[in-house]
């Protein structure tokens, strides 16, 4: 089983929503579509589902061309950001609704419903109506509706975006387990890099209607093939600085910060991408580099401190474990872990990550 998009393109009027895209999703995989709002995640999913037709290109499922085949004939299920359930059905009836239309015996429907309800911890709520439930339970019901069908393709369009923090964390941890051992392809759209990392599997990064990179989630994270992909897969935003390389020595433009590198690169100017958690108030890694700056803002969350500071003409973001109180305007010293640097050439392509 596999889902393949061959040269998909989507235009609405003169506006291109999806640029020519080739993607292949394999059997029993979870695939994350990662990109900001309007990157084209939803459009792409609707094309995969058959809810929308591509302007150009073909969709192949199980070695069959399914372009233009209606969604009802595709055995697809979808979960949305909004909690979509039939308002006047009980939870039980809601979960059963995709099965009823297929004409399965009611005894089997009951069995499958109670199994899925159990999996999603919905058993005590089976006789309630959706609007008597919390947001998390409503979304669980929607998930149950998607799972009960044994679809070949399950599409999840930012399913956690409308949930509050705790419920999101809880459900996010359960999701990968739910789809394990299921004979299907799961596609999960999200704006959050952390979702992609937690879910694992494969990730495709999207920017403005283009798929920039597709591969195993950790590979895409560790080796983004260009700057855009790295930016999409970094939250808080990645720090990007221009550097000069001469021999073994790299130096930050506009500042006297220098470090040694054993990268096999020609001398010249490059860009370095540094994720915020690689700039910390304490030393990390063997090759840590000191950088000084003036504090712009420091934000404390329960267990982390985000310090925004200026160095040269650039605004930097750092993320440290623990609480580190800094005053605005204070001159401060921070440490960059140069083992985690990503080097890009002037065409924004990744040239090295050591």
Binding site for other proteins (CB under 8 A): 46, 49, 51, 71-72, 76-78, 80-82, 84, 86-89, 97-98, 101-102, 129, 131-132
- Counted residue by residue, the chain has a size of 354
Structure tokens at 104: 């399965």
Cβ–Cβ under 8 Å, residues 23 and 5: yes
Given the complex with other proteins, which of 84 and 265 has the nearer CB atom?
84
Structure tokens at 254: 């506009």
> Is omega for the bond preceding 236 within 30 degrees of 0, making it cis?
yes
Place of tokens 């840590």: 288
Q: How far, in Å, are 2, 40, 137 from residue 189 at the CA level?
A: 18, 10, 20
Catalogue the long-range contacts made by 298-305 (C-beta closer than 8 Å, 24 or more residues apart). Answer: 298/324, 298/325, 298/326, 298/327, 298/328, 300/325, 305/281
d(CA 288, CA 267): 22
198: nearest Cα among 180, 220, 176, 230: 176
Given the complex with other proteins, which of 87 and 247 has the nearer CB atom?
87
State the minimum distance, in angstroms, from the CB of residue 89 to other proteins. 7
State the minimum distance, in angstroms, from the CB of residue 55 to other proteins. 19
Given the complex with other proteins, which of 140 and 326 has the nearer CB atom?
140
348: nearest Cα among 274, 270, 278: 270
State the minimum distance, in angstroms, from the CB of residue 180 to other proteins. 23
Given the complex with other proteins, which of 131 and 222 has the nearer CB atom?
131
Given the complex with other proteins, which of 74 and 275 has the nearer CB atom?
74
State the minimum distance, in angstroms, from the CB of residue 320 to other proteins. 40
d(CA 268, CA 94): 62
State the minimum distance, in angstroms, from the CB of residue 250 to other proteins. 49
State the minimum distance, in angstroms, from the CB of residue 86 to other proteins. 5
188: nearest Cα among 138, 143, 150, 232: 143
Given the complex with other proteins, which of 72 and 107 has the nearer CB atom?
72
State the minimum distance, in angstroms, from the CB of residue 62 to other proteins. 19
Angle at 302 between CA 298 and CA 305, to 5 degrees: 30
Given the complex with other proteins, which of 131 and 269 has the nearer CB atom?
131
Given the complex with other proteins, which of 39 and 142 has the nearer CB atom?
142
Angle at 156 between CA 152 and CA 161, to 5 degrees: 170
State the minimum distance, in angstroms, from the CB of residue 213 to other proteins. 28
State the minimum distance, in angstroms, from the CB of residue 139 to other proteins. 12
Given the complex with other proteins, which of 49 and 291 has the nearer CB atom?
49
Cβ–Cβ under 8 Å, residues 340 and 285: yes
């Amino acid at each position: 089983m596999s889902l393949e998009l061959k040269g998909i393109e989507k235009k609405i009027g003169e506006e291109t929503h999806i640029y020519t895209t080739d993607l292949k999703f394999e059997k029993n995989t979870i695939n994350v579509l990662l990109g900001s709002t309007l990157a084209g995640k939803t459009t792409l999913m609707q094309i995969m589902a058959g809810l929308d037709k591509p302007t150009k290109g073909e969709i192949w499922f199980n070695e069959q061309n399914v372009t233009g085949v209606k969604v009802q004939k595709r055995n697809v299920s979808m979960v949305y950001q909004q909690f979509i359930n039939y308002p006047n059905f009980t939870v039980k009836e809601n979960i059963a609704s995709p099965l009823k239309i297929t004409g399965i015996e009611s005894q089997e429907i009951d069995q499958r419903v109670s199994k899925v309800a159990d999996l999603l911890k919905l058993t005590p709520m089976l006789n309630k109506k959706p609007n008597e439930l919390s947001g998390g339970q409503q979304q669980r019901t929607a998930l149950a509706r998607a799972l009960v069908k044994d679809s070949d393709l399950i599409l999840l369009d930012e399913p956690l975006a409308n949930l509050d923090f705790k419920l999101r964390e809880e459900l996010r941890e359960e999701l990968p387990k739910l789809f394990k051992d299921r004979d299907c392809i799961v596609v999960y759209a999200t704006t959050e890099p952390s979702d992609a990392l937690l879910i694992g599997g494969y990730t495709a990064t999207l920017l403005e209607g283009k798929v920039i990179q597709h591969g195993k989630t950790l590979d895409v994270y560790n080796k983004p093939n260009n700057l855009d992909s790295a930016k999409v897969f970094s939250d808080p935003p990645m720090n990007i600085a221009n550097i000069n390389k001469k021999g073994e020595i790299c130096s930050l433009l506009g500042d006297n910060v220098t470090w040694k590198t054993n990268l096999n690169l020609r001398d010249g100017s490059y860009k370095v991408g540094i994720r915020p958690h690689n700039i910390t108030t304490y030393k990390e890694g063997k090759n840590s580099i000191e950088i000084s700056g003036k504090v712009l803002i420091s934000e404390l969350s329960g267990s982390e401190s985000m310090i925004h500071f200026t160095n040269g003409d650039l605004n930097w973001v750092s993320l440290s474990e623990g609480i580190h109180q800094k005053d605005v305007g204070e001159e401060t010293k921070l440490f960059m872990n140069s083992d985690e640097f990503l080097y890009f050439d002037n065409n924004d392509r990744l040239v090295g990550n050591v």
